[in-house]
């Protein structure tokens, strides 16, 4: 049975400029990325804006080749400007009812066998008790939220992933369908702290990258 879902990691980078638009006739649905963001987050915003303007028929997802694909009826035009164009895998304006972006998503990781992300929803650090008996104390505020991210693929590919993640960095982790049944869904933004490769499965040809991560908002 095939897995209809892809787990995608898109690196959060600085220097995003321009805008990306879904155009039907003379009606534009446009989003302008924040200066620091990821391709996954930009496409998520584009889906919501296109659906708001053009209706719920607009869908975007990632295919097996690591390229974004967008579909909608009637025919639409997809265009981007600034650094947003290349960072989304576009090379120019495209028109149709089903559009596959020409280039692979840069700075992204697409594990063939999926990914597993586990992190706490919220962690509160508490200070020392105000009374000797304990029980009452002040709250320092939200603490560092740590978790674990595991990527599953061939042993060769996981070694490559580990090299990419060795320098750390911030990634948006999302689950995207490979058909048009749903839209892009961002799961969480995390900062990679450590990563290591392990063999996985009975045959020894599969691997996994286990990462210690920290949930972040920017």
Q: Are strands 68-80 and 94-100 parallel, antiparallel or unpaired?
A: antiparallel
Please indicate, yes or no, if residue 142 is contained in any of the structural domains. yes
**Per-residue confidence of the chain (218 residues) as pLDDT tens digits?**
234 567 889 999 999 999 999 999 999 999 999 999 999 999 989 999 999 999 878 888 888 888 999 999 999 999 999 999 999 999 999 999 999 999 999 989 999 988 888 876 544 444 444 444 444 444 444 556 678 999 999 999 999 999 999 889 999 998 776 655 555 566 689 999 999 999 987 777 899 999 999 988 87
143 and 183 fall within a common domain: yes
- Of the residues 106, 126, 160, the one at which a domain ends: 106
Please indicate, yes or no, if residue 114 is contained in any of the structural domains. yes
102 and 158 fall within a common domain: no
Q: Are strands 115-119 and 146-154 parallel, antiparallel or unpaired?
A: antiparallel
- Of the residues 80, 106, 132, the one at which a domain ends: 106
Query: What is the number of domains present in the chain?
Result: 2
Q: Is the peptide bond before 74 cis (omega within 30 degrees of 0)?
A: yes
Q: Which helix (H) or strand (E) holds 160?
A: helix 155-165
- Of the residues 106, 127, 143, the one at which a domain ends: 106
- The residue segments making up the domain with residue 21 are 12-106
Euclidean distance between CA atoms 10 and 8, whole angstroms? 6
pLDDT for the residue 121:
53
Helix (H, G, I), strand (E, B) or coil at 46: helix
150 and 73 fall within a common domain: no
Q: pTM to 2 decimals? A: 0.81
198 and 130 fall within a common domain: yes
């Amino acid at each position: 049975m095939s897995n209809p879902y892809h787990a995608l990691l898109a690196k959060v980078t600085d220097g995003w400029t321009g805008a990306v638009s879904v155009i039907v006739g003379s009606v534009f649905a446009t989003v302008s990325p924040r200066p620091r963001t990821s391709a996954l987050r930009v496409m998520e915003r584009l889906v919501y804006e296109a659906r708001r303007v053009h209706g719920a028929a607009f869908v975007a997802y990632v295919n097996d080749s690591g390229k974004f694909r967008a579909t909608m009826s009637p025919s639409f035009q997809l265009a981007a400007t600034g650094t947003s164009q290349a960072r989304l895998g576009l090379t120019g304006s495209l028109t149709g009812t089903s559009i596959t972006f020409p280039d692979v998503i840069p700075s992204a990781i697409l594990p063939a066998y999926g990914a597993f992300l586990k992190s706490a929803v919220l962690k509160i650090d508490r200070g020392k008790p105000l009374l000797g008996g304990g029980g009452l104390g002040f709250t320092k505020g939200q603490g560092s939220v740590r978790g674990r991210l595991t990527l599953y693929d061939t042993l060769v590919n996981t070694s490559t992933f580990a090299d990419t993640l060795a320098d750390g960095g911030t990634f948006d982790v999302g689950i995207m369908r490979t058909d048009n049944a749903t839209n892009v869904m961002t799961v969480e933004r995390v900062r990679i702290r450590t990563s290591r490769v392990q063999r996985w499965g009975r045959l020894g040809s599969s691997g996994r990258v286990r990462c210690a991560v920290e949930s972040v908002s920017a």
